[in-house]
Amino acid sequence: MCDVEMADAAGPAPAAAAPAPAAARSKDAYYAMDEAAIDEVRRKKVWTGDATHFKRVAVSPAASMKMLMHAHSGCEAGLAAGGKPLEVMGLMVGYPDNAREDCMVVTDVFPLPVTGFETQVVADDEGVVNYMIKLSDMLEVTRKERIMGWYHSHPFDVDEAHNHCFLSSTDLSTQLLWQNAEDGNGNPFLAIVIDPLRSFAKGTAELGAFRAYPPAASPPANQCPDGEIVTDDAKRVEVWGSCWNRYYELEVEYFMSTQVPKPRAEIRAG
């Protein structure tokens, strides 16, 4: 799970993520996609033969900000209606990194018109499906990236010991459905879960990135998604849900273009 500094927790919008960039790659390289190299990565699709091929995900500031703001809006909408905070869901756009083939890159996100309660957010409504189809068609024309994952929120409560970034049985079924459909087509699929209530209470943006194990995969005994060996079943279910041994967690990094400070400098000089 990943902690990223945010703005004042009482404010409505979190600040951009504090980057933890990898030294092996220029920050600007994520924006200048090498389409030929990425197409070759998609053609090889080595992840289909390795259940834990991907180890990390690089997320843009725009994507992280939009996910957190969307999750926060779901909390506000549910409480304004006199109920509990609502879970929200959206799609992520990006690509498999050609420079570091164990890395996935998320460049942007798009909220979906779907909400729910307590681990039950699914995109099976006909209107939502049609929306997703239209979005996919638009992206094919306007963007170089593909839809490569989904995100949703878990606004359950504020737990002092841990956040609520995990995959429920419903989440795991959704991830497996998309992963099975997309991985073999050269488009590895990712799930991100945001804990908005703890994020704003603690002043840090907390999210987790996950991929499911294929049904035939056998992870090490008692290994939780973060790689820790835990023999206490109650503890691992509390933190990771009942499907704790059927998915694994990826390390989350953030990147920001080196060009970002330049407009500010020009404005000050003007």
- DSSP 8-state class, residue 46: G
Model confidence over 102-137: pLDDT tens digits?
A: 999 999 999 988 776 554 555 556 777 788 788 888
- CA dist list (Å): 92 to 21, 69, 237: 20, 15, 27
Model confidence over 72-87: pLDDT tens digits?
A: 999 898 889 888 889 9
Q: Is the dihedral of CA 117, 118, 121, 124 positive or negative?
A: negative
What are the tokens at 25? 């790659």
Which amino acid, 162? Answer: H
What are the tokens at 238? 């509390």
Q: What is the pLDDT of residue 261?
A: 54
- For residue 93, give the H/E element and its range: strand 87-96
Q: What is the pLDDT of residue 25?
A: 60
- Whether the per-residue pLDDT at 239 is higher than 60: the answer is yes
Residues 114, 128: Cα–Cα separation, whole Å: 7
- CA dist list (Å): 270 to 91, 189, 259, 261: 39, 45, 18, 15
Please tell me the number of Cα atoms within 13 Å of 247 on its side-chain side. Answer: 32
Residues 6+ apart with CB under 8 A from 190: 54, 57, 92, 104, 106, 148, 149, 150, 209, 210, 211, 250
Matching residue, tokens 């294929």: 214
Residues 183, 169: Cα–Cα separation, whole Å: 20
Across 210-233, average pLDDT: 96
Residues 150, 172: Cα–Cα separation, whole Å: 12
Q: What is the pLDDT of residue 117?
A: 59
Phi, psi for residue 151 in degrees, rounded to 5: -130, 155
Q: What is the pLDDT of residue 150?
A: 95
Model confidence over 146-190: pLDDT tens digits?
A: 999 999 999 988 777 788 999 999 999 999 999 999 999 999 999
In the chain, alpha helices (H): 35-44, 61-80, 126-142, 169-182, 196-202, 233-240, 261-269
Residues 231, 112: Cα–Cα separation, whole Å: 38
